[in-house]
Amino acid sequence: MTQASAQSSGYLADGRIRWTEWLPWVAALGGFFLLPEYLALGSRILIFILFALSLDLILGYAGIITLGHSAFFGLGAYTAGILSAKLGIHDNFLQLAAAAGAAALLGAITGAIILRTRALTLLMLTLAITAILLEVANKMTTLTGGADGLSGVVVAPILGLFKFDIFGKTAFLYCLAVLFIGWFFVRRLIYSPFGAMLTGIRENTARMHAVGAPVYRRLVLVYTISATMAGVAGALLTQVNQFVGLNVLGLEPSGDLLVMLILGGVGRLYGAFVGPVVYLIAQDYLAKQYPEYWYLGIGLLLIFVVLFARGGILGILDKWLPFSKPRSSAKASAR
């Protein structure tokens, strides 16, 4: 009898952190010291990793399919931006908290409405919500700056000590710290009974109903958690760029995010790390080499992954590197 393969959540999964799980952090710190000229790109990657983690939670674990996750990212970005540029609140934590709160509220309200639907209907509704927000941001020029974007964002030194410098060092380490907290939280969550329950909903919704799970309420809950994280990621982008543009809302950032996650691998936590790294570096490189055709390269990459590596880049690594697999240890076994 074959054993249950690679459990990355559930009652047999070993919840302890493996040494391989420290590699992304080592790599990030290595990048900080070795590639100082790429720190702006690095911060962007860290922000999108956080954003992708939030998507993985609902798409990869709970099975909620969405093209509208930018609604929360964008709302978070604008909340932080408006707070700073219009209301003069420059504390970075207050900005993050406000962005998180606004995104959570939007997630709870829209989730309660649209999560009664499924599949294509749900997909279209998520898209509609971010499209509406894009239009609102476009029209409310006094608050958002409309198509010109919102400039004049100021972030006070973090903890009163660390000023955002022009080389982006503070920004990078700040994003890394927030991402670390986000990662730690998501990791706890997916290894917990809550995470196992989400996997249950994704694997067989009818069965979860039959074991007495109020599935709809659970979906709204996880959608709200995910929205909150996406809002924080959006606020980070505002703080790092000190600017908000309309490109944080609508189909495009949602679609890019989805492509990143699929590239990395859906429903396995670290796919959200690998995807943005590959996507954004490829984008950076291709946009310099072929400014007009860079999407072609991304497209080819995506086609390759979808045709030959359904588990994403991490799925390929699984086949080549046995140790990249999460193990279900003997200690975690039931006896």
Partner 1 sequence: MAPVLETKKLCKSFGALTVAQNIDFRLAPGDRHALIGPNGAGKTTFVNMLMGVLAPSSGEILLAGEDVTRAPQARRVRGGLGRTFQINTLFRNLPVLDNVALAVAERSGLALRLWRPASSYQLIKDEVMALLATLGLADDAEARVADLPYGKQRLVEIAIALGLKPKVLLLDEPAAGVPSEESNKILKNLENLPSEIAILIIEHDMDIVFRFARRITVLVQGEVLVEGAPEEIARDRRVHQVYLGEGTHG
Binding site for partner 1 (CB under 8 A): 1-5, 7, 9-15, 188-189, 191-197, 199-200, 203-204, 206-215, 328, 332-335
- Whole-number Å distance between alpha carbons of 226 and 69: 9
- Whole-number Å distance between alpha carbons of 229 and 313: 24
Under 8 Å between Cβ of 305 and 317: no
Please, what is the minimum distance in Å from the beta carbon of residue 193 to partner 1? 5
Please, what is the minimum distance in Å from the beta carbon of residue 198 to partner 1? 10
Please, what is the minimum distance in Å from the beta carbon of residue 7 to partner 1? 7
Give whichever of 7 and 92 is closer to partner 1, judged by the CB atom: 7
Please, what is the minimum distance in Å from the beta carbon of residue 96 to partner 1? 21
- Whole-number Å distance between alpha carbons of 251 and 211: 36
User: What are the backbone dihedrals phi and psi of residue 333, each rounded to the nearest 5 degrees, phi first?
Assistant: -65, 165
Judge residue 53's burial from the number of C-beta atoms within 10 Å of its C-beta, 0-12 exposed, 13-18 middle, 19 or more buried.
Answer: buried
Give whichever of 108 and 302 is closer to partner 1, judged by the CB atom: 108
Closest CA to 43 of 266, 238, 228: 238
Give whichever of 11 and 290 is closer to partner 1, judged by the CB atom: 11
Interior/surface letters 244-259, b for 16+ CB within 10 angstroms, e for the rest: bbbebbbeebbebbbb
Residue type, 116: R
Give whichever of 169 and 202 is closer to partner 1, judged by the CB atom: 202
Give whichever of 139 and 209 is closer to partner 1, judged by the CB atom: 209
Give whichever of 204 and 289 is closer to partner 1, judged by the CB atom: 204
Please, what is the minimum distance in Å from the beta carbon of residue 108 to partner 1? 16
Please, what is the minimum distance in Å from the beta carbon of residue 185 to partner 1? 9
Residue type, 278: V
